[in-house]
Amino acid sequence: MEVILLEDLQGFGKSGDTVKVAAGYARNFLLPRQIAIAAGSNSANLFRELQKRKGVRDAKLRKGSEELARKIEGQEVTIGARAGDDDTLFGSVTTMDISAKLAEKHVTVDRRKIHLEEPIKALGVYTVPVKLPGGVTANLKVWVVRESA
């Protein structure tokens, strides 16, 4: 059975490719999950319409992400933490802490969008990337300072 892929499918092809697959695989897996549509006379028109809708949806998503990125770029977050004499933290600063401080400034970002290589374990200034939908990345400045006792 020939199908037009709506998504990239490893081992078969990329989105938009017309591929030949087993009828059962298409009927039971690809078509119900909307990974592909059956190839036919109307399928090409349907595929073009779906691509156009996806383009409009992606443009809206990217525009919203760019607006949020501008808000994030203008922010600096200061997090107080207990630290020893050598400026190492007794705990660590995580994405959850950063997300909570941003929320206090009325900027809501899911903690999973904040990318730390590893939790912050020392005092200092850090530039933390925030990866937003649509391929937009914003850099947030995070100040980790000694908490007053």
Task: Give the pLDDT confidence of 89-126 residue by residue, as tens digits.
Answer: 999 999 999 999 999 999 899 999 999 999 999 999 99
Give the length of the chain: 149
Ranges in the chain annotated CATH 3.10.430.100: 68-146
pLDDT band at 54 (very low <50, low <70, confident <90, very high): confident
- pLDDT score for 42: 80
Is the distance from CB of 91 to CB of 81 less than 8 angstroms?
yes
Query: Residues spanned by CATH 3.40.5.10 within the chain?
Result: 2-63
Q: Are 148 and 80 in contact (CB under 8 A)?
A: yes
φ and ψ of 53, to 5 deg: -65, -40
So what CATH class is 68-146? alpha beta
Residue 82's pLDDT is 92
Domain 2-63 belongs in CATH node 1.10.8.80? no
Average pLDDT over the chain, rounded to an integer: 90
CA of 42: how far to CAs of 8, 46, 61, in Å? 21, 6, 29
The pLDDT tens digits of the residues spanning 74-86 come to: 889 999 999 998 9
Query: Does residue 84 or residue 51 have the better pLDDT?
Result: 84
